[in-house]
Amino acid sequence: MTETVVVLGAGYAGAGAIKKLEETLGDEADITWVSDHDYHLVLHESHRCIRDPSVQDKVTIPVDEIKSPTTRFIQGEVSGLDCDDRAVELADGSTVSYDYLLVTLGSQTAYYGIDGLEEHSLTLKSLDDALTIHDRVKEAAREATADDPAHVAIGGAGLSGIQTAGEVAEFRDMHHAPIEITLVEALENVLPGMDSELQGALRKRLEERDIEISTDDPITEAEDGAIHFDSGDTLEHDVFVWAGGITGQEAIDDSGLDNEHNRVNAEATFETNDDRVFALGDSAIVDQPDGPAPPTAQAAWQAAEVAGENVARALHGQPLDSWTHEDKGTLVSVGEKAVAHDVVGIPLNTFSGPVAVAIKKGIAVRWINDVTGPGRAVRAWSDM
């Protein structure tokens, strides 16, 4: 009897795993792909849509351009997992049975119990989120004047927060809009936990774009039109985007899989406490020699190939390979500019300028080429 392999999610881990499973299994197994959207979103470039919504055509890739015709696709929201019965539960009440399962559901925004934060903020976890931010910024700018500018606040100065701030600045400058931008961070520096030289370079680029930076003062409460800080200060705003962290999907909660904050604990082989379930990407906390793998597009992209191979190995009763994350560098865009750090093959430690921009574009285009082909990749270059 042919076994069924089910992949949940169409992010980097899911799309990459589908490509590898099709390559390694061929017609040896029935492959089913489940996602709440019928496209893959190039999430690390989705912030471009804040400036220009037309970019959505470049950062969304229909699943039919990625998968083989023999792979079954089901569009639906995963609401739960029953590992005892090997069934995926969907929000419409239907179920999808599996013999082997890859959980690549991605993450959702973490609010850390901060009062009012979820109710009074926008997020950037989907295409719809990016388009909503664009609409809200545009509306606020339309109602503003030079004497009474619109104020956009971005909470969290990690990758997503920095890139969101940069795109709002591009929108402001393109449209000569009266907008003030503040990037706030609870910890002492932008891009917390990273190299100080990279932090300094990013702060410089943000300040060059007239983005005010407020650090070392956590948000304690959010309400309509204002956020409050531990220091007692209050920041009023017209648009507030929260990009302060991630947690797992609620579908994991009662699955029986070992997890922390709904992110599944997985070995370096992507095995979980259930020998028929593998997990990777933001859905998982993947064990590595120096701690968990980072929840980044780069890590998910690397992991997907090994995870897909390991599912095929498990199906064949073969030993599994362990994955080791290789940090190939950090690239962060601030509008049309970019800062690069520790990029493999480049002798400079931290740098910006045209080379950094070209490398960042090249990474996005390479991914698009890998999952679809050169035609779509070439068309995407100018907007990455």
Domain borders along the chain are: 3-107+248-316, 127-242, 330-383
Q: How far apart are CA 150 and CA 326, in angstroms?
A: 42
Query: What would the 3-class secondary structure string for the chain be?
Result: CCEEEEEECCCHHHHHHHHHHHHHHCCCEEEEEEECCCEEECHHHCCHHHHCHHHHHHHEEEHHHCCCCCCEEEECCEEEEECCCCEEEECCCCEEECCEEEECCCCEECCCCCECCCCCCECCCCHHHHHHHHHHHHHHHHCCCCCCCEEEEEECCCHHHHHHHHHHHHHHHHCCCCEEEEEECCCCCCCCCCCHHHHHHHHHHHHHCCEEEECCCCEEEEECCEEEECCCCEEECCEEEECCCEECCHHHCCCCCCEECCEEEECCCCECCCCCEEECHHHEEECCCCCCCCCCHHHHHHHHHHHHHHHHHHHHCCCCCCCCCCCCCEEEEECCEEEEECCCCCCCCEEECHHHHHHHHHHHHHHHHHHCCHHHHHHHHHHC
CATH homologous superfamily for the domain 3-107+248-316: FAD/NAD(P)-binding domain (3.50.50.60)
How deeply is 7 buried, as exposed, middle or buried, from its count of CB atoms within 10 A (0-12, 13-18, 19+)?
buried
Q: What is d(CA 165, CA 171) in angstroms, rounded to the nearest whole number? A: 10
How far apart are the C-alpha atoms of 336 and 359, rounded to whole Å? 13
pLDDT of residue 35 exceeding 90, the answer is: yes
The stretch 300-321 carries a mean pLDDT of 96
Intra-chain end-to-end CA distance of the chain, in Å: 45
> What is the C-alpha separation between 254 and 101, in angstroms, rounded?
16
Whether the CA torsion 31, 33, 38, 41 is positive or negative: it is: negative
Q: How many CA atoms lie within 13 A of 374 on its CB side?
A: 0
120 falls in which pLDDT band (50, 70, 90)? very high
Unique residue bearing structure tokens 């990016």: 130
pLDDT at residue 306, rounded to an integer: 97
Confidence band (pLDDT; 50, 70, 90) for 348? confident
pLDDT, averaged across the chain:
96
pLDDT of residue 276: 97
> Does the pLDDT of residue 1 top 90, yes or no?
no
pLDDT at 313: 96
Question: What is the mean predicted confidence (pLDDT) over 308-323?
Answer: 96
Percent of all residues in the chain with a pLDDT value above 90, rounded to a whole number: 97
Q: How far apart are CA 165 and CA 151, in angstroms?
A: 12
Mean pLDDT confidence for 226-234 = 98
The arithmetic mean of pLDDT across residues 319-334, rounded, is 96
Distance CA 286, CA 52 (A): 35
pLDDT of residue 73: 98
Q: How confident is the model at residue 315 (pLDDT cuts 50, 70, 90)?
A: very high
**Edge-to-edge strand list for the sheet holding 259-260:** 259-260, 263-266, 284-286
Q: Are 133 and 241 in contact (CB under 8 A)?
A: yes
Same fold, 3-107+248-316 and 127-242: yes
- Nearest 5°: phi and psi at 231? -70, -15
pLDDT digits (tens, 9 = 90+) for 41-71: 999 999 999 999 999 999 999 999 999 999 9
CATH class of segment(s) 127-242: alpha beta
